[in-house]
Amino acid sequence: MQKLLLFDIDGTLIRSNGAGRLTLAYALERLFGTVGPLEEYNMSGKTDPRIITDLLTAIGVSPKEINKQLPAIYELMAEHGQKIFKDKEMTACAGVPELLARLVARDDVIMGLLTGNSQLTAPLKLSAAGIDPLQFKVGAYGSDAMDRNELPAIGISRANQLTGAQFNGNNTVIIGDTPADILCARAGKATAVAVASGWHAATTLADYQPDHLFDNLGDTDQVLQALLS
């Protein structure tokens, strides 16, 4: 049976060292002259449109205006990312290059992304960390939905369109580093694989009862077994 593996990016595949926050600050500053309460905002597990909407709502921008500006914000974020990512020493998380090399060689696996990043920024971040974005055949992005829990269905539907396969929650695995990733896997009736390589301790992630939990993705054989079982 084929498996669809949907990977989160930040804290799961790569460490971006605050680069995402800088691109957001740049875009908001350019368009609105302020970043709103970005300094104290917890971005963990949230989609870009969720973050942007929260920050702009806090300074009184209307939902209608926010929606209208989202595409321009994504463009500015990507444009700035293209400039700064190379200097942010972004790296792949432990074990990720080895794991991806093993997965890409298999014909029973479709690799995809499920991320709060916009579709424009996601490949830039991966490339900056030395990961080839083209090995991910499908993606569900923050630019597709504000609510992360809507992204599994989008990723699954795109994988089905691309491959003609019949993916559903039963043969889909969502890999992420935050409680929001685990909840989103549940929303998509998919298998939840949590990895404590981001901002959340394994003990915190364990409270959300993922199907599998790793400190990092370093033990390739063990991770493969969890992903493909």
Minimum Å gap between C-beta 192 and Mg ion is 13
Residue 96 token pair: 């990720």
Q: How far apart are CA 219 and CA 197, in angstroms?
A: 13
Minimum Å gap between C-beta 181 and Mg ion is 6
Report if residue 10 touches Mg ion, rule: CB under 5 A. Answer: yes
* DSSP bridge partners of 111: 5
Minimum Å gap between C-beta 12 and Mg ion is 5
Minimum Å gap between C-beta 31 and Mg ion is 25
Q: How many helices (H) and strands (E) does the chain have?
A: 9, 8
Instruction: State the virtual CA torsion across 97, 14, 19, 81 in degrees, nearest 10.
Output: 50
Which part of the chain contacts Mg ion (CB under 5 A), choosing from 3-11, 66-74, 143-151, 213-221?
A: 3-11
Task: Confirm if 198 and 213 have CB atoms less than 8 A apart.
Answer: no
Taking CB under 5 A as the criterion, the residue among 46, 125, 177, 196 binding Mg ion is 177
Interface map 122-161 toward Mg ion (x if CB under 5 A): ----------------------------------------
Report if residue 11 touches Mg ion, rule: CB under 5 A. Answer: yes
* DSSP bridge partners of 15: 91
C-alpha of 96 from chain center: 14
Which part of the chain contacts Mg ion (CB under 5 A), choosing from 6-14, 30-38, 93-101, 142-150?
A: 6-14
Q: Which residues contact 220 (CB under 8 A, 6 or more apart)?
A: 95, 98, 99, 102
When the beta carbons of 36 and 45 are compared against Mg ion, the nearer one is 45
Nearest to 188 by CA among 170, 175, 205: 170
The residue with its CB nearest to Mg ion is 11
Residue 71 token pair: 């595409």
Report if residue 48 touches Mg ion, rule: CB under 5 A. Answer: no
When the beta carbons of 61 and 226 are compared against Mg ion, the nearer one is 226
Q: Which residues bind Mg ion (CB under 5 A)?
A: 8, 10-11, 177
